């Protein structure tokens, strides 16, 4: 009898109309939030053939987002301004358009001014509260206002770690039951063992174009004066203060001073902020043999190839809502050392050597532990390959769909 009631209940349940802000997923250059949006949308296409989805976008969908099954529809919402698209243009669609979603999902931090009764928003972290110096005043004002607007109007908030949940609760006084933790995934099709054969072609693009006797200036990219022609350790991420780049550079220089025969270089992959350029160039000038290589932003396939050949991944970040690069490195078989703070213990588990990110000597010690002990490096590689099995975008999308089902 109970089974019959359940079948009757399921048959009588209406399908949802779900609106998703796809604007960030559609950006040509993606970092964490953009990739999150992209992968969640792509996985929802695979797992949900029942509900109707409207992908709201300010430009034509691309990079595979435009390939939609029958229950997904792209809806371009034109807007003359660079900013305020989510806040205002989606509001017009919600109020005056034809889609009228039952649930609206915004994968990043904000909501339209006019929104349906059921809304779901992802707040990835509140770095703008902890590191306000990294944001211009309009950005800070916008983030602070939008977070408080979300607190008042969102039905549910998703965040990506227990650490971020505690942060959001503490700073905005949001009750625990309003916040759901859904761990991020990683791009397992790109970040995996293999791909080393592609590395030779990739590194040819980073040859010494300027010549060995070139004097560096503060605005000169290190990329143009270095070459990856030997063993190396890696960092991937935006080059800014909260990533603790200054201490990473200091630790690497100290590592080289303690181990002058070691041939490892430090490869930094990520877009720098202006202040970082001067700091890194100064260190490179003072330590000409330090072998610091900066490759700026790279496509994911190139990052994966570099990680496959790296002997060590170093992630000394001071603040992470999640820390996807840790998983990407582990998935490529690269041993990881990382900070013991914020969300990173949740992500790395027992598969990384952790250190106090404010202690340069401990960072150096962790480098030496992995690079000078092959058995330790191999054990960490295997643990990392096991650890990444706990995270996937498919799992994240299923959990998000489950939350939307509960809202409806």
pLDDT digits (tens, 9 = 90+) for 309-365: 999 999 999 999 999 999 999 999 999 999 999 999 999 999 999 999 999 999 999
Using CB atoms within 10 A of its CB, is residue 13 exposed (0-12), middle (13-18) or buried (19+)? exposed
Does one domain contain both 217 and 246? Answer: yes
Is 233 inside any structural domain? yes
In this structure, are 29 and 116 located in the same domain?
Answer: yes
Residue 1 lies in a domain: no
Report the DSSP beta bridge partners of residue 234.
267, 313
The band of 4, judged by pLDDT with boundaries at 50, 70 and 90, is very low
Are 131 and 241 in contact, with CB atoms under 8 Å apart?
Answer: yes
Q: How far apart are CA 187 and CA 169, in angstroms?
A: 29
Both tokens assigned to 13:
């349940």
pLDDT at 405: 95
- Which of 337, 302, 338 lies closest to 319, judged by CA? 338
User: Distance (Å, rounded) from C-alpha 200 to C-alpha 214?
Assistant: 25
In a domain, 35, yes or no: yes
Question: What CA–CA distance (Å, rounded) separates 287 from 126?
Answer: 36
- Beta bridge partners, 313, equal 234, 336
Whether residues 19 and 114 share a domain: the answer is yes
Rounded Cα distance between 77 and 407, Å, is 26
- Residues 202, 229 contacting (CB under 8 angstroms): no
Considering the domain architecture, whether residues 119 and 254 belong to the same structural domain is answered as: no
Mean pLDDT of 280-290: 58
Residue 386 and residue 267 in one domain: yes
Distance of CA 401 to the CA centre of its chain: 21
Where are the strands (E) in 127-264, listed by range? Answer: 156-159, 179-181, 232-236
- What's the rounded Cα separation, in Å, for the pair 359 and 297? 28
Decide if pLDDT at 370 tops 90. Answer: yes
Q: Is 167 inside any structural domain?
A: yes
Confidence band, pLDDT 50/70/90 cuts, at residue 206: very low
Q: How many residues does the chain have?
A: 408
The highest-confidence range among 63-67, 204-208, 224-228, by mean pLDDT, is 63-67
Q: By mean pLDDT, which of 138-142, 314-318, 346-350, 393-397 is the weakest?
A: 138-142
Helix (H, G, I), strand (E, B) or coil at 117: coil
Domain membership flag for residue 349: yes
Q: Are residues 136 and 244 in the same domain?
A: no
| CATH value at residue 56 | 3.40.50.2000
List, as own/partner pairs, every contact residues 283-291 make where C-beta atoms lie below 8 angstroms and the sequence separation is at least 24, other chains included: 283/249, 283/250, 283/253, 284/216, 284/222, 284/225, 285/216, 286/253, 287/253, 287/256, 289/256, 290/252, 290/253, 290/256, 290/266, 291/226, 291/232, 291/256, 291/264, 291/265, 291/266
Residues 329, 200 within the same domain: yes
- Asked if the model's pLDDT at residue 247 lies above 80, the reply is yes
Rounded distance between C-alpha atoms, residue 193 and residue 333, angstroms = 6
Same domain for 345 and 264, yes or no, is: yes
Residue 190 lies in a domain: no
Tell me how many degrees the CA angle 194-197-198 measures, rounded to the nearest 5: 100
Examine the domain organization and report whether 175 and 203 are in the same domain. Answer: no
Which are the contacts of 212, defined by CB distance < 8 A and separation ≥ 6? none
Is 2 inside a domain boundary?
A: no
N-terminal to C-terminal alpha carbon distance within the chain:
25
pLDDT band at 211 (very low <50, low <70, confident <90, very high): very low
Residues 252 and 294 in one domain: yes
Q: How confident is the model at residue 278 (pLDDT cuts 50, 70, 90)?
A: low
Q: What is the mean pLDDT of the chain?
A: 87
Q: Where are the alpha helices (DSSP H) in 310-352?
A: 324-331, 344-348
Q: Is the pLDDT of residue 386 over 70?
A: yes
Q: How many angstroms separate the CA atoms of 48 and 69, rounded?
A: 10
Note whether residue 112 is domain-resident: yes
Print the domain residue range for 246: 196-390
Asked if 218 and 333 sit in the same domain, the reply is: yes
In the chain, the number of structural domains is 2
Handedness of CA 251, 253, 259, 264 (dihedral sign): positive
- pLDDT of 201 over the 60 cut: no
Task: Tell whether 354 and 366 lie within a shared domain.
Answer: yes
């Amino acid at each position: 009898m109970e089974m019959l009631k359940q079948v009757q209940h399921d048959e009588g349940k209406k399908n949802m109309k779900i609106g998703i802000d796809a604007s960030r997923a559609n950006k040509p250059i993606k970092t964490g939030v953009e990739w999150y949006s992209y992968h969640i949308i792509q996985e929802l296409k695979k797992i949900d053939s029942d509900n109707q989805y409207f992908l709201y976008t300010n430009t034509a969908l691309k990079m595979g987002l435009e390939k939609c099954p029958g229950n997904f529809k792209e809806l371009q919402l034109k807007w003359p301004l660079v900013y305020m698209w989510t806040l205002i243009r989606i509001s017009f669609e919600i109020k005056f358009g034809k889609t009228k979603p039952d649930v609206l999902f915004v994968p990043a931090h904000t909501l339209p001014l006019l929104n349906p009764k059921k809304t779901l928003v992802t707040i990835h972290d509140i770095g703008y509260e902890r590191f306000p110096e990294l944001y211009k005043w309009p950005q800070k004002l916008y983030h602070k206002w939008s977070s408080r607007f979300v607190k008042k109007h969102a039905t549910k908030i998703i965040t990506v770690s227990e650490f971020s949940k505690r942060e959001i609760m503490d700073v905005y006084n949001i009750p625990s039951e309003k916040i759901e933790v859904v761990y991020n995934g990683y791009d397992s099709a790109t970040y995996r063992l293999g791909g080393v054969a592609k590395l030779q072609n990739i590194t040819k693009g980073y040859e010494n174009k300027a010549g060995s006797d070139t004097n560096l200036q503060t605005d000169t990219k290190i990329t143009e004066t270095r070459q990856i022609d030997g063993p190396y350790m890696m960092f991937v991420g935006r080059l800014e203060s909260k990533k603790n780049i200054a201490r990473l550079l200091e630790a690497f220089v100290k590592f080289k001073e303690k181990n002058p025969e070691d041939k490892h270089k430090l490869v930094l992959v990520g877009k720098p902020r202006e202040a970082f350029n001067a700091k890194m160039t100064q260190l490179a000038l003072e330590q000409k043999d330090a072998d610091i290589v900066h490759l700026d932003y790279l496509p994911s396939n190139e990052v994966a190839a570099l990680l496959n050949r790296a002997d060590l991944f170093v992630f000394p970040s001071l603040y992470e809502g999640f820390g996807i690069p840790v998983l990407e490195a582990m998935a490529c078989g690269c041993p990881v050392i990382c900070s013991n703070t914020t969300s990173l213990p949740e992500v790395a588990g027992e598969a990384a050597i952790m250190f106090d990110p404010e202690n340069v000597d401990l960072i150096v010690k962790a480098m030496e532990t992995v690079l000078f002990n092959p058995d330790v490096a191999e054990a960490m590689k295997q643990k990392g390959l096991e650890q990444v099995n706990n995270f996937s975008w498919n799992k994240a999308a299923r959990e998000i769909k489950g939350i939307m089902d509960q809202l409806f």
